[in-house]
Amino acid sequence: MPTIQDVALHAKVSVSTVSNVLNGRTDRMRAETLARVEAAIAELQFRPSKLAQQLKTGQTPLLGLLVPSMTNPMYGYIAREIESYAQEHFGYRLLIGSTYRDRDKESAFFEDLSAQGVRRVIVISSLADERHFESAVERGMTVVSYDRGATPGKLSRVGHVMPDNFEAARIATRHLISHGHERLAFATVAGMTMSRSAKIDGFHAAAEEAGLKGKVLDGGPLDEYGDAVIAEVGRATAHQIAALGQRPTGIVALNDLMAMGLMAGLRETGLEVPRDVSVVGIDGLYLSGLSNPGLTTVPLPVKTMARAMVERAMRADAPPESAESDQVFAPEPLVQRESVAAPPDRQRAARVPEEGTAS
Amino acid sequence: MPTIQDVALHAKVSVSTVSNVLNGRTDRMRAETLARVEAAIAELQFRPSKLAQQLKTGQTPLLGLLVPSMTNPMYGYIAREIESYAQEHFGYRLLIGSTYRDRDKESAFFEDLSAQGVRRVIVISSLADERHFESAVERGMTVVSYDRGATPGKLSRVGHVMPDNFEAARIATRHLISHGHERLAFATVAGMTMSRSAKIDGFHAAAEEAGLKGKVLDGGPLDEYGDAVIAEVGRATAHQIAALGQRPTGIVALNDLMAMGLMAGLRETGLEVPRDVSVVGIDGLYLSGLSNPGLTTVPLPVKTMARAMVERAMRADAPPESAESDQVFAPEPLVQRESVAAPPDRQRAARVPEEGTAS
DNA sequence: ATGAAAGCGCTAACAT
DNA sequence: ATGTTAGCGCTTTCAT
């Protein structure tokens, strides 16, 4: 690899002149000099070492991204949007890390990033507190956290970007109600996070509006399962539902993946969606359009949020006020597919023929 | 951020002593000195700058990973396995890039990696040739390529790791044949890659074994579609199939995602899986276990391959012989689910009851 | 308009 | 056993 020295020699100028052209200070030199330098650069195929630049400037064009798991399609989706926005608009690449919701792994990642010279990171974490990376912020990192608000009462220099989870769940629930459902359930996993409780609140709010009382179903912990994680919890929940005396007829799932697991599980127990039970998801994964029956879901504005996170991470210099830096994004309009119908006791009117329903 | 200087001062030793403890050369000093240094490090919370280390040693603990798209669950899966193996066994982090199968994006990524000091990269590319990164190899990068063999005849210093695509497709096809299918089709996308042609060959081989003649269905190009890409092509293929006079009864899909799209599309046309047509996928995504009907598929040994790729990328020093560096991995045993049944004309025996089939 | 030189935070000879 | 020092490849004053 040629260095700036080589170029200088080759162009018969000093390294500072080369550096100047590298940094666009071309006004400080004769056109002829510039031409020589550029020729040398081209000829040697010289690419300045970011490493050396970083050491000098303290800036590295790398964005850290912390996700619970890349295998989760939702995180893959978010990661993709973050990546392309950061790349296209700022020339930043992504340094990614999966944490499997483990605090030590998260901390270790922050350590590494910091040692690596990375100053901007986006975190998707479901861990309750963010103390373990508050320290990173204090050391000068800009961090933006997804799907959680600032800890109430605590000042924080961490940026927060999230969907309006309350509203998303409320929309999903209302959809069920508008189809006549009265026995409502919300399928979630064990462990409360801000986003989960917001969804649950939204679910209850919608139920109450209609004078109904919703039930929250906890499918169990996430970590016991390998990969399919959330989907497996959904599957477990389905079996739990099947065993219930008074079965709910309308279910809002924590997210699309869980909904898909739920539908698979329901099928295993002989229950049919949407004939016996209706299901609504939240997220808007394209995969949900592939399921059978197609999953009705409330899409989250992933692109917009990804953009907001990158912007926030980049424009670090903005007023680092306290908690007011939270940004909440409204969900997109519900996408209606085939996983919702009237509850069983209201279906006499038009017991849909084979094809109209599911398979 | 404290530097090695600060630590030296704090411990009242020279920087080289600190450097020595950092690099495990602790035998060269008195235990007492070591203790002082360690204390200083702890107290100052000193983390050596990888940046500076890299500049000095030319080694950066970063592994480049080039994927067509993170949103594709298969790549997400592979990326995850690569990440954890590289992290756990070598302390490497992942610098990831999506290329959307674009040559310029791939080249740009290599440029960036190289400037970033990254010397090891794993590439998942479906582009026909690998000339654009052969040059990276010549500049000293170690690159391992997934799902393609060395270009025949051409020497290459690029490592190659891939599944036995021929065998995978053959297994899938035989499975269909063993269920009595005689009108066989292979659903693929436009554009031939090594892995796609290997699968097609395997498909034909299995058909011929049985004295049958398989048909290859091309669902169209990948790039027209946004995200759901392959699944959408599958969907298109389904509509194409429905319009056919002599419909195939057994279809092998290029991969699971395409199979899922195919099943969704089939459903749209009123065709039922597996009653009217049977479908087999290749990959073994956990999502395929969630589909309805559950997708029968030939799983690829992702974990093993990920491991092999990382090892190859790390142990760069191994004999950089010519093409013989290819590593091919056998698929895992076919996972039987519900997407395959006897062809329609053989089903009179036991026309399966509602539940046994699909919904 | 151009060049010399002092680092950025480390590592690794090479002293002592 | 410990310290001195010369870089790694760049950026950036400050001279000339």
* pLDDT over 60 at B83, yes or no: yes
* pLDDT over 90 at B266, yes or no: yes
- pLDDT tens, per residue, chain A with 359 residues: 899 999 999 999 999 999 999 999 999 999 999 999 999 999 999 999 999 999 999 889 999 999 999 889 999 999 999 999 999 999 999 999 998 888 899 999 999 999 999 999 999 987 767 778 777 888 888 999 998 877 666 667 789 999 999 999 999 999 999 999 999 999 999 888 899 999 999 999 999 999 999 999 998 887 755 556 788 899 999 999 999 988 999 999 999 999 999 999 999 999 999 999 999 999 999 999 999 999 999 999 999 999 999 999 998 665 555 445 789 999 999 999 999 999 998 776 544 444 444 44
Every domain of chain A and the residues it spans: 4-48, 62-163+303-329, 165-300+333-349
Are A115 and B70 an interchain contact pair (Cβ–Cβ within 8 Å)?
no
Query: Which residue in A98, A227, A357 is closest to B286 by CB distance?
Result: A227
**Strand C bases within 7 angstroms of protein beta carbons:** 1-5, 7-14
CA at B15, C1' at C14: how many angstroms apart?
A: 15
Among B236, B233, B244, CA closest to B276: B244
Q: Lowest mean pLDDT of A94-103, A207-216, B39-48, B128-137, name the range.
A: B128-137
* pLDDT over 70 at B357, yes or no: no
Q: What is the pLDDT of residue B358?
A: 43
Q: Lowest mean pLDDT of A135-149, B95-109, B124-138, name the range.
A: B124-138
How many interchain CB pairs under 8 A, A with B? 172
Phi, psi of B147 (to 5 degrees): 65, 30
Asked whether strand D has any atom less than 7 Å from the CB of A48, the reply is yes
List CB contacts (< 8 A) between A231 and chain B. 286-287, 290
Give the CATH class of B62-163+303-329. alpha beta
* pLDDT over 60 at B52, yes or no: yes
For B275, the closest chain A residue by CA position comes to: A359
Q: Could you check whether B62-163+303-329 and B165-300+333-349 share the same CATH topology?
A: yes
Rounded to two decimals, the pTM is: 0.92
> How do residues B150-160 score in pLDDT, each as one tens digit?
766 666 778 99
First to last CA, chain B: 60
Asked whether strand C has any atom less than 7 Å from the CB of B49, the reply is yes
Q: What is the pLDDT of residue B285?
A: 95
Q: What is the pLDDT of residue A355?
A: 47
Residue B221: pLDDT band (50, 70, 90) is confident
Distance, in Å, from the CA atom of B266 to the CA atom of A290, rounded to the nearest integer, reads 11
Phi, psi of B69 (to 5 degrees): -165, 130
* pLDDT over 60 at B356, yes or no: no
CA at B38, C1' at D1: how many angstroms apart?
A: 17
| Cα four-point dihedral sign A163, A165, A167, A169 | positive
Distance, in Å, from the CA atom of B335 to the CA atom of B298, rounded to the nearest integer, reads 6
Q: What is the maximal distance between C-alpha atoms in chain B?
A: 89
A272/chain B closest Cα distance in angstroms:
7
State mean pLDDT over B162-184.
97
Q: Going edge to edge, which strands form the sheet with A120-124?
A: A326-329, A159-163, A142-146, A120-124, A62-67, A93-98, B93-98, B62-67, B120-124, B142-146, B159-163, B326-329
> How do residues B300-351 score in pLDDT, each as one tens digit?
999 999 999 999 999 866 555 544 578 999 999 999 999 999 999 877 654 4
Asked whether strand C has any atom less than 7 Å from the CB of B48, the reply is yes
Residue A236 near residue A252, CB atoms below 8 Å: no
Query: Which residue in A60, A70, A84 is closest to B80 by CB distance?
Result: A70
Distance, in Å, from the CA atom of B321 to the CA atom of B336, rounded to the nearest integer, reads 40
Residue B63 near residue B86, CB atoms below 8 Å: yes
DSSP string, B155-215: ---SEEEEE-HHHHHHHHHHHHHHTT--SEEEEE-SS--HHHHHHHHHHHHHHHHTT---E
State mean pLDDT over B225-252.
87
CATH of A165-300+333-349, picked from 3.40.50.2000, 2.60.120.10, 1.10.3720.10, 3.40.50.2300, is 3.40.50.2300
